[in-house]
Amino acid sequence: MDSTARSPRTVIVTGAAGGLGRAFAEAFARRGDLAVIADVDEAGAQRAASAIVEAGGKAIGVRVDVTDANSARELAAAAAAAGDGGIDVIVNNAAIYATLTRSPFEEIDEAEWDRVMAVNLKGPWQVGRACSPLLREGARIVNIASATVMSGSAQWAHYVASKAGVIGLTRVMAKELGVRGITVNAVAPGFTLTEASHSLISHAESYGVDRGSIKRPIHPDDIVGAVEFLASPEAAFVTGQTMVVDGGRQFL
């Protein structure tokens, strides 16, 4: 894998056994960083890490339940121990998405609502606070929200609300961590072609394309660049922001 001349960073990516998370982890590894692939699917995390190592990169797979404080602390400790004692980047990507049941907001199962909030919103908070003591000055946190927050999506209230909460959390964390030179931003992807998206919608390849300024589907690599930028030294004065990456399907 290609690397740059800068010192390698320790980068945690949650929900990285597959989909967007894995694409993020692979991109950081190509830059010479240590990718800490964190997922509730431990076997999947180990497979993703092994693939990166086989390609010449640095990675470890770690099981994490982002809803659990002890599990989040164990992730933070494992990441620091695998690197040089600190954490440089967190990408809070873990979320419940493809398995959700689309229902009118009055009919959403309460247990499903609570689980979505626990993973999608509580998760970034748990991981952020567990890692906070180990974050270096100038560290970067990128929370993955969703462009559907800006447009709304019928029969999807729990998912949309959870991702709106991620944007709010991002702003508060930016205020609180800025004194340490740590930036916190959100990336809000449009409907991106991942395994999860294909399982969710039969016509995933064409979904939303007609609404875009750029008339093609969104691929994981389209989102990677925004995350890499917000995690880079060049974004040192960008914080508390939400970057929508959807090919111009909507404008803020």
Nearest partner of 20 among 170, 245, 230, 223, judged by Cα? 223
Q: Cβ distance 246 to 212 under 8 Å?
A: yes
Residue type, 84: D
Considering the candidates 159, 189, 197, 235, report the single residue annotated as catalytic.
Answer: 159
The label of the residue with tokens 């100038």 reads 138
Read off the tokens for 190. Answer: 């449009």
Q: Which residues pair with 57 in a beta bridge?
A: none
Read off the tokens for 168. Answer: 């709010």
For residue 139, report the phi and psi dihedrals to the nearest 5 degrees.
-65, 165
Q: Cβ distance 58 to 33 under 8 Å?
A: yes
DSSP code, position 219: -
Judged on CB neighbours under 10 Å (0-12, 13-18, 19+), 13 is buried
End-to-end CA distance of the chain: 37
Is 207 marked active-site? Answer: no
Nearest partner of 146 among 157, 160, 158, judged by Cα? 160
SS3 at position 184 = strand
Q: Which helix (H) or strand (E) holds 95?
A: none
Give catalytic residue positions.
159
